[in-house]
């Protein structure tokens, strides 16, 4: 993908829609500019996982984490102990 953005007199740019969609960012999100040997990279700053809002959607009532999953399957199999 190649896009062009114009710099304003205040040093601001508007990221083209295709770039925002590619980065998965929207209004109020932050981006990080990283310079390396290949040039300048624009990286979205993630507060957490972008999938966080979907955590637990496939297993309502089941806590997250390995221990909770092991406990759940042991209870299904009729074992009450964790050992």
Q: Are 41 and 34 in contact (CB under 8 A)?
A: yes
Detail the DSSP E strand segments found in 9-68. Answer: 31-36, 39-44
CATH fold for the domain made of 1-47: Pemi-like Protein 1; Chain: D (2.10.260)
Quick one: 22 exposed, middle or buried, by C-beta within 10 A (0-12, 13-18, 19+)?
Answer: middle
What pLDDT does residue 15 have? Answer: 93
Q: Is the pTM of this model over 0.85?
A: no
pLDDT one-digit tens code per residue, 22-65:
999 999 899 999 999 999 999 998 877 767 777 667 766 777 77
More confident residue, 55 or 78: 78
| Alpha helix ranges (H) inside 3-81 | 17-23, 66-76
Which pair of structure tokens corresponds to residue 55?
């955590």
């Amino acid at each position: 993908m190649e896009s062009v953005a114009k710099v304003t007199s205040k040093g601001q740019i508007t990221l083209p829609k295709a770039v925002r969609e590619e980065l998965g960012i929207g209004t109020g999100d932050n981006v990080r500019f990283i310079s390396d040997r290949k040039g300048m990279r624009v990286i979205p700053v993630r507060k957490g996982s972008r999938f966080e809002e979907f955590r637990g959607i496939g297993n309502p009532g089941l806590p997250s984490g390995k221990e909770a999953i092991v406990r759940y399957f042991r209870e299904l199999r009729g074992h009450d102990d964790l050992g």
